[in-house]
Structure formats: C-alpha cells, structure tokens
Amino acid sequence: MTTAAFLEDIMRPSFRTIVVSTLTLIVSSTLATAAEVRVLSVGSTQIAAKAIATEFEKQTHHKVTFTIRPPFDINKELAEKAFDAVILSVPAMDNHDEAGDLAPMSRVALARVGVGVVVKEGGPVPDVSTPEKLKAAVLAARSLTYTDPATPNTSGAIVGAALANLGILDEIKGKTRHASLAVGGELVAKGEVELGFFNLSEIPKGVTVAGALPGPLQGYTVYEAAVLSKGSTDQAATAFVKYLASAPAAAHWEAAKARACHDLHAHPREPIKSCARAYHAGKCGGHPDLMRSARSAAPPCSRCRRGAFDDGLDAIYR
C-alpha cells in the first residue's frame, strides 16, 4: 500500500466524523435556542392569539402552547401551574400587576372586544340595530342567556348593564339563564334558548350573529398581554408578547372581530376618548366600573400616558 493510499484510508472516517459532529453541533445549537412559551389566556382572545402564535413559531422556531380558561379560573391556574405569559382583561391584569405577578414594564395592549346578539343558525334573525329594536327583540324572545354579570371581566357585566339601561332587567329575569359560553352557546344552537349575548370574538358554533349591541349600549372588554415574573427568563416570552401587539398581528385581531390597539393608535385623526387604565376604580379618573364603554371622557392615564379607544368604531362588529 502506498503512503497516499494509507493516508486516504485513515482520513475518510476522520472526515466523516468531523462532518457528523459539525451537523450534530448545529442541530443541537438550534434546539438549544428554541424555547417553549407557555401562555395562560382567557377564551375571548384565543382565536387571534393562536393564529398569531403560528406565525411567531414559523419566524422564530419557538413553540407557543396555550392553556385557555374562563376568567374565574385564571387565579387557580396561576397558583397551580407554571406559565410564562398571560392574556387577560385590563382589570384582571391590573390586579396581577399590583400583586407583583408580572415582569416590570412587560404589559402591552392588544385589542378590545364588543358584545353581540346571537340566534340559532337558520332561524329568524331579529333587528337589534337600535336600542329600541333591541328592547323589542328581547321582550319578544321567549328566553335569553348570557354569562353571570356578577363574574368580573366578562361579557355578562356588559349585557347586564345594557339591559338595565333599557329598563327591562327586572322584567326579563324570569326568562333569563346565566350560563358559560360553552353551555349558553349550545342552548342557543339547539333552540332551547332564543337569544344569546356573547363576546363577538368567540361566537360559538351553530349560531348566527344578529348584530352587535347598538352603539349607546355597547361596552368593550380590553385585553392585554404580559410576561409573568415567575415564568421562564428566556427572551422568547417577551418576544411573543410584543409580537401579539405588533402591526403584523393586527389583521388577526380584526379577523377575530376584535379591534387591535395597534390599529387604533395608528389612526391619530380618530378622537381618543379614554385610556385602558380607566377601567379600574380609583385610578385614571376614578371610574368605578370595571367594564365601560369607550365613550367615557376619562383623561389619559397618569401611568401609561396613552389614550386607548375612540368613538365611532361600532361598524366593525356588524
């Protein structure tokens, strides 16, 4: 055997070893930099948030996993399990912020959601375009359902206030069933209840939207995202929270019948009426209601110095 042949024989396995080792190192490095972002969210935002997460995963190779719970179960989940980020209504987020659960300066405004009136799919669709027509439809209906208005940060609080403003809350108590979205949606879809009131961003299957609550009666739940102080220290969670509020994400919020805060702030000509922080008592104007219409004349928040929502946006919900 020649010297050249001998060297070639010993170099081949060495070269193969180097190549395999290099590829292994690259793959290992990629896997090491990819992270899982564990998100706890209320149901109203899940359609848009999951679509946005899919884009985020494609761009970053991080993995986003969601746990969806009703508002009244959020605290229990946080106490029992580990999460990196949360998506909640502003009042709930304020509570967690004050408790020290959130990473400093990590809160971002995402979107606001209005309430709609639904009926069984394929059935008669009432006209609810004005307060008077909504009142007539509710009085004529044999039954109706919405979430318990005593539960904070839900559409039920908005619906209860709207019916009270119409002066018929006591009159319709006997035919009202308070139920969760899943139960209430099924009741309407099966025709067991005639009218339902739900957030427009989470309309259940088997129903048709008759329309949004008419302008003077409409109220909005405002949602934010934040990084949790006890979650992962990886920057992936911060990146995802910021991406939820980014310009590319706005289209997904709009598709889910929510108005993106990014979109609102992108139109300076539209009159800014109130601040997201005006939703909690004793701050930013001292409004007592946890859920208010965007038509309050609250001043900008002294903490965030940004207005949030403008008038004249009801068309998006119709």
Write down the pLDDT at residue 251. 95
Confidence of residue 290 (pLDDT cuts 50, 70, 90): very low
Report the alpha-carbon distance of residue 46 to residue 43 in Å, rounded.
5
- One domain for residues 102 and 167: no
Q: Is residue 166 a part of any domain in this protein?
A: yes
Q: Is residue 275 a part of any domain in this protein?
A: no
- One domain for residues 76 and 144: no
- One domain for residues 235 and 93: yes
Q: Is residue 238 a part of any domain in this protein?
A: yes
Q: Is residue 194 a part of any domain in this protein?
A: yes
- One domain for residues 81 and 201: no
- One domain for residues 135 and 209: yes
The answer to whether 209 and 127 have CB atoms below 8 angstroms apart is no
Q: Is residue 3 a part of any domain in this protein?
A: no
Write down the pLDDT at residue 317. 27
Number of domains the chain contains? 2
Give the residue from 314, 306, 310 showing the smallest Cα distance to 297.
310
How many helices and strands in the chain, by DSSP H and E? 10, 13
Could you tell me the CATH number of the domain that includes residue 238?
3.40.190.10
Write down the pLDDT at residue 124. 95
Q: Would you state the structure tokens that stand for residue 53, as one six-digit string?
A: 């997460």
- One domain for residues 52 and 105: yes
- One domain for residues 156 and 189: yes
Provide the β-strand partners of residue 40: 67, 86
Judged by average pLDDT, the poorest of 108-122, 144-158, 213-227 is 144-158
- One domain for residues 66 and 127: no
The answer to whether 116 and 213 have CB atoms below 8 angstroms apart is yes
Report the alpha-carbon distance of residue 45 to residue 68 in Å, rounded.
9
Confidence of residue 256 (pLDDT cuts 50, 70, 90): very high
The answer to whether 145 and 197 have CB atoms below 8 angstroms apart is yes
Residue range 175-211, pLDDT digits in tens: 999 998 889 999 999 999 999 999 999 898 999 999 9
Confidence of residue 261 (pLDDT cuts 50, 70, 90): confident
Quickly list DSSP for 143-211.
Answer: -EEE--TTSTTSHHHHHHHHHHHTT-TTTTGGGEEE--HHHHHHHHHTTSSSEEEEEGGGPPTTEEEEE
Domain that holds residue 62: 36-113+221-270
Rg over alpha carbons for the chain, rounded to the nearest Å, is 25
Q: Is residue 230 a part of any domain in this protein?
A: yes
Question: How far, CA to CA in Å, does 2 sit from each of 6, 7, 9, 10, 13?
Answer: 6, 9, 11, 13, 18
Residue range 14-34, pLDDT digits in tens: 544 443 443 343 333 344 478
**Is residue 106 pLDDT above 60, yes or no?**
yes
Quick one: which H or E segment has residue 36?
strand 36-41
